[in-house]
A and B are shown apart, each in its own frame.
Chain A
Amino acid sequence: MDTNPLAPLQHFLPQVWFCILGLFLFLYILLDGFDLGIGILSLTASSEQRRNILMTSLGNVWDANETWLVLMGGSLFGAFPLAYATILNALYLPAVIMVVGLILRAVSFEFRENANNKRVWNLTFGVGSFLAALGQGFAVGTVFEGINVDAAGNFAGSMWDWLTWHSVLVALTLIQGYVLIGSTYLIYKTSGELQNTHYKTATIATWTTLIGAILITITAPIFHVQVREQLFQPPLFYVFAAIPLLGVFLIAMLLRSLKRREESMPLVWTFLIFLMSFIGLGFVIFPNIIPPSVTIYEASAAPSSQVFMLIFVAFLIPIMLAYNLYNYLVFRGKVVA
């Protein structure tokens, strides 16, 4: 080991990759979050014309948004092969639910566009969005709770380990969060009656998300030993004490801006709420990548692998962000139908 010139990096590299994967996952949850949220909201759209606007608002971005997930998958495979294999193995069924959901909604865009009878594809779009969010919720819930592994880090549980009342709670809350960010995105992108509707859905979703978040925050340390141990160690204890306070503040600001009928601020506050929850989740999991026992150091690919990939990916991240931003800039402004 001592002769390996990369040895000093063995601690640092996995941390860098943990952050990069965190960035990809966060961008995915944020961007496909409003995407899936709008899909779920489309189930309640009162007219075909409204649904048109909803889907048009996603036309140019849904594919790029979903790509963050593919990117996350590919990078996880490269940087932490053990985590990629074990987590997907444990989450086989939720992953299938999610993939089927994403497939259904992806084909719905063009099939609906070309169909005379749009009802079928309206349904596949909405239901697909819901299933994708549900599968992701179960996945987040399961990883949060911990995965049963053997000494080598391979999955050692059963196919239904992911289905617990706690993962159901996380899944339902995530769906609320997606509906919330979808609503605030629509407030930003639309006007008139449609905007009014989504001020209402955003307010309702804020409350349901809040209830879910409170339940998760209260129950997690009580029922999960590893979460508790993680939480009550200083200095993290102070971080975790601050998060609920910050959360309450952000939600209050969100509700206030909804009440004041601000157009872009609700999206910003929602964004901050997502960011805060995500950072909180990251602190709970770190330094594990397969909670409760496999750390990022154990699951890492060879340092040479991580360095090689890092050189290219670090260079590409700003470029990818730039052309995503350009895409949003080109299509800025309200959607008209």
Chain B
Amino acid sequence: MLESLNTVALSRWQFALTAIFHMLWPVLTTGMGIYLVVIEGLWLKTKNLTYYHHARFWSKLYILNFGIGVASGLPMAFQFGLNWAPFSLAVGDFFGTVLGFEGTMAFMLEASFLGIMVFGWQRVPPLMHWVATICVAFGANLSTFWILSANSWLQTPAGGVFVDGKFQVQDYFQAIANPFMVNSFLHMFFATLETSLFVIGGISAWYLLQNRLPNFFTKSLKVVLVMALIVAPLQIFVGHLSAEQVYRYQPAKLAAMEAQWETIPAGTSASWSLIAIPDEATQTNKVDVKIPGLLGYLLELKPTLDSPVLGLKEWAPSDRPHLIGLIYYSFRTMIAIGLYLAALVSVTVFIWWRTGLAGDRLGNYKWLWWGWIFAGPLGYIAVEAGWIVRCVGRQPWIVYGQMRTAEAASALPPQVVLFSLSGLVALYTIFFFAALFFGSRIIQKGPNVALPVPGLRNAEELEIRIKMAEHQPDSRPLETQQ
């Protein structure tokens, strides 16, 4: 018994850590893919070489992230069978189908065109290159769709019935378009885009702060601003819709997100907790600072509720999530970051509107650039926090209300899982720091504006390019430079 308990815990740790680590890389590549489509499209439309060099510069960070994303995604693809064989058997008919779709529709599209996007600048015409970039970005986001459909199905299983513990699909489309799917996909789609935009914005701000290539990097920042002005508020709205769905479909998770032990009956005022120290032993919050009526406004747009908010005590301890503090603070961290990013982009757009962000005045806004640099990593933290709320809050279920996590793990010897877990943790730690190191090296080196421009025939244009070039020889062999 003790052995199987350890195996479940270790398998959960392994899944959690590999998922948390894996998430860091595709978050940037899926979002940045869209940015690259926009910036390359701007180049094709305006013929302004700055956009071309932006595309080249950001692709360097892109490809660095992509490699680690692929590498860390491999254990994800096999882990269901390796560590969660009973789960794979029970839900394979649907879950496996969706993962198969992700591979055939999304991964192959992305992988095949990535080579052309990164190395094919001189080998295909500019328009075809742009098509390749679009395919890469589309593939990545299609992958988000399938993963979020699969994960949403774990939250709100639909489209079939469980017979003797095995899920039998009756309607695939209903299972794919399960209740959580639309909002969850949109929330993640905007999350990857928003994170990437603020990474690009943060790095651009770092250059502006040092007054290095200011004209070049105000350009990338302005594209970020236009996109983020739409995305950041929309993300808050979609996040709100997602939370409302949790209230409706997963009341125990909502109670954990709010650290709400007692049920708030219908017709009473529902306050929103700002700071709390949940204590699972006594089933109370040691400290609880509340904003009166706010939860009511959030859920039903009025201080008193028409339907009750169930408290955690409504469920037996074995039927509700644990780690309440983690869920509670992860949720609040995500909200705080979402609000900060939306505020930051609003302030910056206001300043842009008043001053035009002209080169000579950029030095006046050092505080603003620091605000952007600070915002750079925040998107990642929000994404990870959101997934913690989503998946830790789903416990003790692996398929909500249908299959328990404890019943889903393979009966492996714990030492074996410990072996793979520690191997992966060791590798991932090294990769994390190596990626930071090489990423900052790419940033410090800066853009190489001497790269050959595809499709350039005109000698005059060539002259312009040479004039603006700040020569930095690329270390890659000629073939890969292209």
Contacts and interface: CB of A to CB of B under 8 A. Distances in A.
Interface in A289-337: 301-302, 304-305, 308-309, 312-313, 316-317, 320, 323-324, 326-327, 330-331, 335-337
Given A81-B89, A92-B412, A96-B423, A74 B116 contact: no
B427 interface: yes
A281 interface: no
Contacts of B68: 106-107, 110
- The binding surface of chain B is classed by DSSP as helix
Contact of A100 (B86, B107, B423): B423
B460 interface: no
A308 B108 contact: no
Given A92-B412, A312-B105, A111 B85 contact: no
A84 B107 contact: no
A323 B112 contact: yes
A22 interface: no
A155 interface: yes
Contact of B476 (A64, A67, A76, A113): A113
B116 A327 contact: yes
B356 interface: no
B126 interface: no
B33 to A, nearest CB: 14
Contacts of B66: 63, 110
A67 B73 CA distance: 11
Interface stretch (B74-82, B311-319, B359-367, B464-472): B74-82
B67 A59 contact: no
A337 B112 contact: no
A86 interface: yes
B104 to A, nearest CB: 5
B480 A56 contact: yes
B266 interface: no
Contacts of B112: 64, 320, 323-324, 326-327
B260 interface: no
Nearest to B119: A60
A159 B112 CA distance: 36
Contacts of B104: 71, 74-75, 312-313, 316-317, 320
Given A77-B100, A95-B82, A327-B116, A84 B92 contact: yes
Contacts of A309: 97, 100-101
B115 A114 contact: no
B9 interface: no
B88 A102 contact: no
A104 B75 CA distance: 12
A88 B85 contact: yes
A106 B71 CA distance: 6
A136 to B, nearest CB: 13
Interface in B95-146: 95-105, 107-109, 111-116, 118-120, 123-124, 135
A99 B75 contact: yes
Interface string A248-276: 00000000000000000000000000000
Contacts of B441: 114
B434 A330 contact: no
Contact of B78 (A78, A88, A107, A109): A88
B46 interface: no
A313 B100 contact: yes
B479 interface: yes
A81 B168 CA distance: 13
B224 to A, nearest CB: 24
B115 A95 contact: no
B447 to A, nearest CB: 15
B115 A64 contact: yes
B100 A67 contact: no
A175 to B, nearest CB: 20
A145 interface: no
A77 B81 contact: yes
A191 interface: no
A170 interface: no
Given A103-B427, A111-B434, A327-B112, A74 B103 contact: yes
Q: Which 10 A-B pairs have the closest CB atoms?
A: A81-B92, A60-B115, A88-B81, A77-B96, A78-B96, A106-B71, A85-B85, A78-B100, A71-B103, A74-B103
8 contacts: A75-B104, A81-B89, A85-B92, A103-B427, A110-B63, A154-B85, A313-B100, A320-B104
Given A77-B80, A331-B123, 18 more contacts: A53-B477, A56-B480, A64-B114, A67-B108, A71-B107, A71-B108, A75-B103, A92-B420, A95-B82, A99-B75, A107-B434, A154-B85, A155-B85, A159-B413, A308-B97, A316-B108, A323-B113, A326-B112
Interface of A: 52-53, 56, 59-61, 63-64, 66-67, 70-71, 73-79, 81-82, 84-89, 92-93, 95-96, 99-100, 102-104, 106-107, 109-111, 113-115, 154-155, 159, 301-302, 304-305, 308-309, 312-313, 316-317, 320, 323-324, 326-327, 330-331, 335-337
